[in-house]
Chain A
């Protein structure tokens, strides 16, 4: 194991927003193990939270217990995180950026979550493969 490429971290969450507590605990362990800056992990946590919440609330079939698996890699000062679920085809990055010129009364905030995720990451991409949804985000540390 080299200092710039530690072993990847893999963890899975049930499809419930209650699991967000566990997500932040895993990310905090990662922060300590890899010596990452606090604000970097806070921002990463927010991005993953938003994508995960989108999958839980919109993507996975109701009543069917499916796991959502996360893999985190660190290579050459870049974090790459892949979130994988076995639900129906669903791209959690789909909603367009919210329109900031819209008056408050009519504001459509459906895309606010993914907007925030994009602000705090360098890239987010989605693909559908082997009946699974894969969302991968990258972030420089």
Chain B
């Protein structure tokens, strides 16, 4: 799975491309692990516009990221979920733990 990385307004944006399953989730987890969340770190936005599928392995990576940044100075959000992916978040109850936004602009605004 290809994960492209960019930065806007001091927020690091990761855009995974493809399926987020038990095969690809470790590489997303690893990539997220390179972005520190201390005072010198960055807010993190996962842009899911190219994620067409997510399994529990992907949800676990998202949950781990939520937990890590919960009491940190830098926070975390997800944007641009496709319908099926959003449904999986809702069915699993993860939509109440994760900051989810319909688009990148609203997500970036939420960090300020």
**Residue ID in chain B nearest A107 by CB atoms:** B63
Asked if A109 and B56 sit within 8 Å, CB to CB, the answer is yes
Chain B nearest CB, measured from A22 CB (Å): 11
- B104: interface (CB < 8 Å): no
State in angstroms the CA–CA spacing of A83 and B22 once bound together.
Answer: 18
Asked if A104 and B66 sit within 8 Å, CB to CB, the answer is yes
Chain A nearest CB, measured from B22 CB (Å): 4
Chain A nearest CB, measured from B70 CB (Å): 7
Asked if B53 and A46 sit within 8 Å, CB to CB, the answer is yes
Asked if A17 and B21 sit within 8 Å, CB to CB, the answer is yes
Interface flags for B33-77 (1: CB within 8 Å of A; 0: not) read 000000000000000000001011101100100110010000000
**Residue ID in chain B nearest A39 by CB atoms:** B84
- A50: interface (CB < 8 Å): yes
State in angstroms the CA–CA spacing of A57 and B55 once bound together.
Answer: 15
* Interface residue count on the A side (C-beta < 8 Å): 24
- B88: interface (CB < 8 Å): yes
- B91: interface (CB < 8 Å): yes
Residues from chain A with Cβ under 8 Å of B60 in the complex: 109, 112
- A18: interface (CB < 8 Å): yes
Could you pull out 28 A-B pairs where Cβ atoms are within 8 angstroms? A20-B21, A20-B22, A20-B23, A39-B84, A42-B53, A42-B84, A45-B53, A49-B21, A53-B56, A53-B57, A56-B22, A57-B22, A100-B93, A104-B66, A104-B67, A105-B67, A107-B63, A109-B60, A109-B63, A112-B59, A112-B92, A113-B56, A113-B57, A115-B56, A116-B55, A116-B56, A116-B91, A119-B91
Binding site for A on B (CB under 8 A): 19, 21-23, 53, 55-57, 59-60, 63, 66-67, 70, 84, 88, 91-93, 97
